[in-house]
Structure 1
Amino acid sequence: MNLLTPEQTTATQKANLDTLFGLTNKAFEGFEKLVQLNLEAAKSTLAEIQDNAQKALSVKDPQELLALQASAMQPFTEKVLSYGRRVYEIASSTQAEFAKFAEARYEAQSHRVQTLVDDIAKNAPTGSEAAFAVMQSAIAAANTAYETVQKTTQQAVEIAESNINAAVTTASKAARHDVEQTSRAARK
């Protein structure tokens, strides 16, 4: 007994293909953003290395060299932290796109299953109500489990984001403190 018509099978295959290509495009968009970020970081780093090398060659005494190194550390640390934040943002936004696709597919599939069960229940023989009640209960339980997982995942993402922001703030403050101490030591 085939429950799907050829038109429904074709529509399902088309939807699956659209989903595959949609997700693939989203993955490539995220990859492109990471490549662009890495190219920008490489260009910027190369320019900074060249600039710092030129400055180091013009230094006349060790104190001046220590001060130069100390002054270069703060921007470097900030850039590393900024890079990490941007990588996280790219990964997070790509993951969010995948989650939207998954949620839409789940909702559509859930609706199809519910419609199928309802259609079968209408044509079911008398006495099969208990079996359909069990199916309805299973569908409701699956939906509840899915919603719980969604909420838990969202909470985990929010906690991770909060922890990353706290770590970046702490690292930035520590780097500033270290640079200030090194600068003071170089002046002595």
Structure 2
Amino acid sequence: MSDIQGQAVVSQQAHVALCFGVASKMLECGEKLVRLNLEAVKATFSDWYEGMHDALTKSDEAEASILKNALSLPPAEKVTTYERQIAEIASTTQTQLAEIVDAHYQQSSRQAQWFIEEIAQYAPAHAEAAVALLKQIYELADTAHNSMHNAAKQTASMAQISERAVAETKSTMNESGDEVVEEVSKAGGH
């Protein structure tokens, strides 16, 4: 019986470690997002300052209004880069959390197997059917977990592929849009 109590303590310690591990990774993710946002704000203010300074020093009103309009929104490539960085942080955090949860599941699985073996060892002879049922339930649950885990990995992989395709499409559209803006600016200046 003391083995079971010892395993209960180990299990509780593992759950506490899991909670702190998840909290730690979430805080790391939050720190990365705050850092990214601060860098984006600093860059935006710097760009606005330079643009306003340039607009105020221009003598031609047409050039000044073009610069002023350019300051209203950040360039599409910066927005795309920012979105990509956020997606990378989220993906990295998701991977790290999955590793933590998977390690915890493996440890819990070993403990469950040990517990079933202990029950089987000390169960009365007429309880063999119940022990066999317990083992079968455990095996079914483990199989279901593995199937769901593999499906989640495939879904995450497909999402990353889709994300890359969207980013490439955005980049192409941004480049095309920038070319159109340049052509319109040139046509307006002539």
Q: Give the TM-score normalised by structure 2.
A: 0.86
Distance apart, 1:33 and its partner CA: 0.6
Distance 1:165 1:155, change over 3 A: same
Distance apart, 1:106 and its partner CA: 1.0
Correspondence 1:35 to 2:50 = no
Are 2:14 and 2:104, in contact at CA under 8 Å, matched by a contact in 1? Answer: no
Distance apart, 1:30 and its partner CA: 0.8
Number of the residue aligned with 1:112: 111
Correspondence 1:55 to 2:80 = no
Number of the residue aligned with 1:162: 161
Inter-partner Cα distance in structure 2 for 1:72 and 1:151? 47
- One-letter amino acid matched to 2:4: L
Bigger CA drift: 11-20 or 150-159? 11-20
Distance apart, 1:123 and its partner CA: 2.1
Distance apart, 1:162 and its partner CA: 1.3
The 5-angstrom pairing of residues 1-150 of structure 1 reads: 4-5=4-5, 7-59=6-58, 60-62=60-62, 65-66=65-66, 68=67, 76-150=75-149
Inter-partner Cα distance in structure 2 for 1:101 and 1:118? 26
Distance apart, 1:56 and its partner CA: 2.1
Are 1:70 and 1:182, in contact at CA under 8 Å, matched by a contact in 2? Answer: no
Q: Percent identity?
A: 30
Inter-partner Cα distance in structure 2 for 1:74 and 1:156? 34
Distance 1:73 1:141, change over 3 A: farther
Q: Give the TM-score normalised by structure 1.
A: 0.87
Inter-partner Cα distance in structure 2 for 1:98 and 1:72? 39
Bigger relative contact order, structure 1 or 2, given CA contacts below 8 A and separation 6+?
1
Give the SS at the match of 2:126.
Answer: coil
Bigger CA drift: 141-150 or 118-127? 118-127
Distance 1:88 1:71, change over 3 A: same
Distance apart, 1:18 and its partner CA: 2.0
Residue-pair matches, total: 186
Can you give the 5+ residue segments of structure 1 that lack an aligned partner in the other structure?
none
